[in-house]
Structure 1
Amino acid sequence: MKKVILSIFCVYCLTFQSAWAQDNNAALAPLPSLDDFTKGEDGWAFGLGLGVEYETAYEGSDEFGLELQPAGAVQWRSGDNIFYFAGEAFGWRGLRDDNWLLEALLGFEEGREEGDSDDGHLDGLGEQDEGFELVLQARRAFTSDWRYWLVGRVVTGGDGNLGLFGVGRRFGDQIDGTGHEVNVVAVFHDSEYANNGFGIDAMQAETSRLPATSVSGGLRSIGIDYSFRHYINDNWQIYGEALFEYYSSDVRESPIARSNYETEVGIGFIYIF
C-alpha cells in the first residue's frame, strides 16, 4: 500500500501546472509514498517486486529483525480514480479538484502472537485474533504542485479505532511520483484500540505474571515518516522508507512497551510490466 511508480518526464517544464497538463505520464498525485503504475493512462497496470524491512518485532518491542515483504499491486485507472489490489488489501484512490486526494481500503490485520517475541516477553498474553480493518484517508494540498499538505487517516475494525493527523512536504519537481517525501504526524487511539495493543487484563496478568494494566484513549504517539522513490530505467524502480514513532507517557507505562519508540527502515525494488 506504499509504492508510487512512473517514468521521469518534463523535469524542465517552466511550471508544474503546464507539465501536469502536457505530460501523459503524470501520476495521479506526485507523492513518493503512493504507488501508481498506470503511467497516466486509463486501464490495467501491474507492478511486482520485493523489499526487505528492519523493524521491531511487535508494537512496543525492544527486539528487531529483518523481514522480506512483497511489493507491487494490480491497478485499474479511470481518469482521476485508481482501484487496486495490493497484497492483503483492496482499495480506491481518487483525486478531486487537483488538491484533494481521497483513499479507502480494506486490509487484513494479522494480529499479534506470543511467538513474535523471541525473548518470551509476550508469554501468557495469548494470541490476538486476525481480522480486517477499514482505512479512510484524505490529503489536502496547499498548492497545486503538492509541495505541502495536511493528512488525516482513520483506521477502524474489530479492535477499536485509530486516528492520524499531520502535515507533509514533498521534495523535488518530478510529477511522476518519484523523489522524497516527509510527514510529521500525531496518532490517537480509543481505549479499546489502546488496550488491545498495550493493555493487560486480569486473566492475562495471572498467566503472564505481568501487572494488570489499563490504557486510556487519547494521544498514542508522535511520529515522522520518510519515503523515497527513483526510477532506475523504464521498468525498474527502487524505493525506500523509514518510520519513527515515539510513544506517549500512557503507552510507555505499559509493561508491553519495553521500548519508548517503534521504528522501521525498508528498501526494495519493483518491476513495472
Structure 2
Amino acid sequence: MKKFAGLALILLVHVFFAQTAMGNDSRTALVPLPSIDDFTRGEDGWGFGLGLSVEYEAAYEGSDEFEFEVDPAGAVQWRSGDNIYYWAGEALGWRGLRSETWFFDAAVAFDEGREEGDSDDGRLDGLGDNDETTELVLQARRAFDSDWRYWLDGRLTASDDGSLGLIAVGRRFGDQTDGTGQELSLAVVFHDSDYANRDFGINSEQSADSGLAETDLDGGFRSIGVNYNLRYFVSENWQILGEAVYEHYGSDVRDSPIARSDYEAEVGIGAVYVF
C-alpha cells in the first residue's frame, strides 16, 4: 500500500506542475548539474545508462568501520519535454523542470535498513535488525539564475520510520550543458525523533541484550556535511562519475553509543555506458 500511495502522490505532483511546464531547447540535460543524471541526450523518448560504481564507505550510520562496496550505476529513463520518469536501482520516480530555475523530484525508494552483521567487530550485537522500509523522497531546487551556477536545495525523506529533511546550497563548475562537470554543495540535515532513534536509539530491550546504555534521542539537528560530485564523458558513450561525502554529526548523535565516530564519510567512483 505504501508503494501505491507513493506512486499516486508522484502522479499528483506531476499533474499539478505539468500545467506550468516551459520548454528549453537550448539545454541538453534537463538540469546541467552532475548530481542529477540525464541519459536522454536532450531528446524525448528512452534514455539508458548502465554501469558499476565502487564505494568506500562506513559500514552503517555512525560506524568507524569502513568497507568497499560495488553497486550498479545508471538508470532507465523516459523523457517528455521537461519531464523525466525514471527507474534507478531501488528508486522509481519523476523529475521535472519548471521555468528555467525550478527543479522538482519525487520518488519512491527502498531502504535496506541495518543488520547486526553489518559490524564485523560485533558492535551491533544485541541491537537486532532494522526493518527494510519504503520511503517517499521529495526534492525541490531553485537556481539563482538560468545557468544553474548557484542553487538552493530542499529535500524531505519520509517513511513509517520517521522523517529526515535537508537544506543545501551548491555551486556548479564548468560550462557544459550536458549535465557533466563538477559540483560542490554544503548541507544541513535534520531528523525527527523516530528517524533519529531508528539509526542511533537504544531501547530497554536492546540495552539489556547489548550492554549498551539506553538512549532516546529527540528530533532536531542531525549533521552538517559537504558533498562533491563529478561527471564526465570520456567518449561518445562512456561516462565516468565520482562522489565524495563528509557528514559531521551533531552532539546528540555523537552521544549515542551506536555512533562510534563523530562523522561519516564516503568516496565513490564509477563508469556508465550511455546507450
* TM-score normalised according to structure 1 size: 0.91
> Does 2:120 match 1:122?
no
User: 1:215 aligns to what SS in structure 2?
Assistant: coil
> Does 2:265 match 1:266?
no
User: Aligned residue for 1:62?
Assistant: 64
For residues 190-269 of structure 1, the aligned pairs below 5 Å read 190-269=192-271
Match of 2:36, as an amino acid?
L
User: 1:174 aligns to what SS in structure 2?
Assistant: coil
User: Aligned residue for 2:43?
Assistant: 41
Dislocated runs of 4+, deviation >3 Å:
20-23
Q: Deviations over 1:177-228 (max 9, x none)?
A: 0100011010000001001100000000000010101111100000110000
Percent of aligned pairs sharing the same letter: 66
Match of 1:123, as an amino acid?
D
User: Aligned residue for 2:17?
Assistant: none
User: 2:231 aligns to what SS in structure 1?
Assistant: strand
Match of 1:34, as an amino acid?
I
User: 1:176 aligns to what SS in structure 2?
Assistant: coil
Aligned residues: 252
For residues 1-273 of structure 1, the aligned pairs below 5 Å read 21-22=25-26, 26-273=28-275
Structure 1 residue 149 displacement after superposition: 0.6
Gaps of 5+ in 2: 1-23
Q: Deviations over 1:222-271 (max 9, x none)?
A: 01100000101110010000000000000000000000000000000000
* TM-score normalised according to structure 2 size: 0.91
Structure 1 residue 45 displacement after superposition: 1.1
Between the aligned partners of 2:103 and 2:184, the Cα distance in structure 1 is 17
Match of 2:147, as an amino acid?
D
What CA RMSD, in Å, does the superposition of the two structures yield over aligned residues? Answer: 0.8
Between the aligned partners of 1:163 and 1:55, the Cα distance in structure 2 is 22
Match of 1:144, as an amino acid?
S
Between the aligned partners of 1:89 and 1:29, the Cα distance in structure 2 is 19
User: 2:145 aligns to what SS in structure 1?
Assistant: coil
